[in-house]
Amino acid sequence: MLKLLQQFNYTPPHIEHYNNGVLRVEGDIQHGWELFVDGQRWMTYNLIDHDQAFELYSHYDLAYGHCICTGLGFGIRENWLLTKSEVTKLTVLEKNKEVIEYHQHIKSPMLDHIEVIHVDANEYKGQCDTLLFDHVEFFDIKNSLIKNVRHCATNIEHNTLWFWPLELLLTKKQNYQKIRSTLPTLPDLDKETLLLYTGMYNINKREGSKHD
């Protein structure tokens, strides 16, 4: 499936083993990686089918100008966005200092090209062209997620908004226009584009591919 992603300039992010007592990264270059914080698994990256990248295709497709992204993780999305000529600046908001220190320790090449701010996205105020959220977990997916996105979006002036995992809501038959009435800076997309986004999100889907 990597060949399909490569049609959109995708390359996997730089990931290495790491353990500082709080944050731990385990895995191998044949199968994939896991990131743990305080013993709890936060995310995975599968090097066989690259599920986590497919989930973020919409972010890549919509991104332009100055992009503010929340949640650094393995840098899957950020590494990808750097390949897009329409993206002129990339700012990442990450509240977990250990995640930032991990990328500094392994000398992630993308750090030379992005701005990383150690801050809680719920408290940050700023402005950008494209606002891309990926800092929340599966807490009350229908209500608290949208409430949190709306709160953060109010503090950050922007033109276009998207958030992970909006495609999951659409897969569960939530109405996009109804969600957009609550979050008006979501783009006005036609049915074909929405089907593309949900199709990419679910292309290799197995239960809990990203936050399992």
In angstroms, rounded to a whole number, what is the distance separating the alpha carbons of residues 78 and 116?
Answer: 11
CA-nearest of 160, 211, 198 to 36 is: 211
Q: How confident is the model at residue 30 (pLDDT cuts 50, 70, 90)?
A: confident
Beta bridge partners of 94: 118
CB 108 within 8 A of CB 35: no
Q: State the alpha helices, DSSP H only, in 34-122.
A: 51-54, 57-62, 76-81, 97-105
Query: pLDDT by residue (tens digit) across 169-211?
Result: 999 888 999 999 999 999 999 999 999 999 999 998 754 444 4
Mean pLDDT of all residues belonging to the chain = 92
**pLDDT for the residue numbered 28:** 86
Q: State the alpha helices, DSSP H only, in 20-66.
A: 51-54, 57-62
Q: How confident is the model at residue 212 (pLDDT cuts 50, 70, 90)?
A: very low
Which strand (E) or helix (H) includes residue 155? helix 144-155
Residues 6+ positions from 198 with CB-CB distance below 8 Å: 167, 170, 171
Superfamily for 53-201?
Vaccinia Virus protein VP39 (3.40.50.150)
Q: How confident is the model at residue 141 (pLDDT cuts 50, 70, 90)?
A: low
Domain boundaries, the chain: 53-201
What is the pTM for the complete model shown? 0.93
DSSP 8-state class, residue 109: G
Query: pLDDT by residue (tens digit) across 55-64?
Result: 999 999 999 9
**pLDDT for the residue numbered 207:** 46
